Amino acid sequence: MSVAGLRKQFYKASQMMSEKVGGAEGTKLDEDFKDLERKAEVTSKAISDVLCKTAEYLQPNPASRARLTMLNTMSKMRGQVKSPGYPQAEGLLGECMLKYGRDMGEDTNFGGALVEMGDAMKRLAEVKDSLDIDVKQNFIDPFQTIVDKDLKDIEHHLKKLEGRRLDYDYKKKRQGKIPDEEVRLAAEKFKESKELAETSMQNLLDTDVEQVSQLTALVESQLQFHRQSVEVLEELAQKMRERVNEAESQPRQKRMPASKPNFDCLESEDSDGGWSPSAAPSSHVSTAAHSYNSPSSHQKRRMTDQPCCKALYDFEAENEGELGFYEGDVITLTNQIDENWFEGTVHGQTGLFPCNYVEVMVPLRH
């Protein structure tokens, strides 16, 4: 930084201290400028907050959002062009229904209904993906452009205006000690910055028609999503009604209970006072089984020596690098990626899994 630049920074710092500590008054901006600044500030906050809440509306699960952000970052680091999409709740429900419907058999009434509903849920997930894409292209991206360009320009000009005001006030109060030419130049720069700040804020407020158009695009995307969802659900409801009518029209099959074998003769033959193995106490068997299944004290010590956690729910690995497990599994902890993800090992596999699926038994050592 040049000597003149250092001197200007000193002037601004001195003026700021005299205003905040000494109570000195600086140059007041006119009411029209202050009113414009208030309107621009409210508009800026509205755009930023609406963007944030729209992302939460499209992707309501914070854990899934955090995982998606992490996976997108990992994909970029690996040079992968295609990154995984947000796991829609409708798609996850559809996969569950399809799995159990096929396990039961599509020839059964309940199994076939699960398969049909699972297919419909998968179609709803695709419709929701289309909504995400439309909203991003027609609403989020244009608003993000305003944040990245217009709002940053306003912030830059207001910051520069404040710096030039401090420089001008310092020199104005020291006229005689500072050459008049410097005071005049400082006043011209202050006026120039004020005009640039006013222009940038007015440009933002003048684009309200474009902002309303983008809100209209958001409504149109939602309307299209709900129309397509209604079509899928109406078709599914018709299939479910047909299944109910078909099941009610079929006669219910009668099932005769199977005859139970009579063991009276066996009991009379074995009741001669002799010893029977079946009548022997089985406490030693259960004790042996319990001691076999329960971990030894040495195993328990080993378990508590290393960081580990217990699975509270089943977790199915959906992406490369994730670790799947079942409820009750004890997972060895190797690292904590962030506040939402652990890295661990179980069943000979190593990978990432969400923190809210487990209960930490022995924490990681930092």
Domain with 194 in it:
24-249
Domain tally, the chain:
2
Can you give the pLDDT at residue 283?
41
Q: In this structure, is residue 159 part of a structural domain?
A: yes
The pLDDT value recorded for residue 176 is 77
**Same-domain pairing of 356 and 225:** no
Say which amino acid occupies 47: I
Query: Which pTM was predicted?
Result: 0.57
Helices 208-249, 109-135: axis angle to 10 degrees equals: 170
Q: Give the C-alpha separation, 286 to 289, whole Å.
A: 5
**What gap in Å lies between CA 91 and CA 125, rounded to an integer?**
5
CATH code for the domain of 165:
1.20.1270.60
Domain CATH number, residue 332: 2.30.30.40
Whether residue 186 sits in one domain with residue 68: yes
- Helix-helix angle 152-172:180-206, to 10 degrees: 160
Please report the pLDDT score of residue 67 as a whole number: 64
Among candidate residues 207, 226, 249, the one where a domain is terminated: 249
* Contact assessment for residue 274 and residue 321, using Cβ atoms and an 8 Å cutoff: no
Q: Which two tokens stand for residue 284?
A: 């030693």
Report the pLDDT value the prediction gives residue 66, as an integer from 0 to 100.
67
The predicted structure's pLDDT at residue 247: 83
296 domain-assigned: no
pLDDT at residue 234 in the model: 95
Question: Residue written as tokens 């001197």?
Answer: 7
Mark whether 126 and 29 lie in a shared domain.
yes
With helix as H, strand as E and coil as C, how does 62-102 read?
HHHHHHHHHHHHHHHHHCCCCCCCCCCHHHHHHHHHHHHHH
pLDDT, block means (10 residues), the chain with 366 residues: 70 78 81 93 92 86 66 59 70 92 90 94 92 90 90 93 89 83 90 94 91 93 95 94 85 56 45 44 40 44 74 91 93 91 93 93 84
Give residue 289's pLDDT: 39
State the Cα torsion 226-232-235-236 to the nearest 10°.
Answer: -110
pLDDT for position 281:
43
Q: 179 — phi, psi (to 5°)?
A: -55, 145
Regarding whether 237 and 125 lie in a shared domain, the answer is yes
Same domain? 245 vs 315: no
Query: Which candidate, 200, 123, 211, places its Cα nearest to that of 160?
Result: 200
Q: Return d(Cα 209, Cα 180) in angstroms, integer.
A: 46
Residues 48 and 196 in one domain: yes
Residues 82 and 214 placed together within one structural domain of the fold: yes
In a domain, 274, yes or no: no
- Give yes or no: residues 125 and 229 share one domain: yes
- Whether residue 350 sits in one domain with residue 218: no
Are 225 and 313 in a shared domain?
A: no
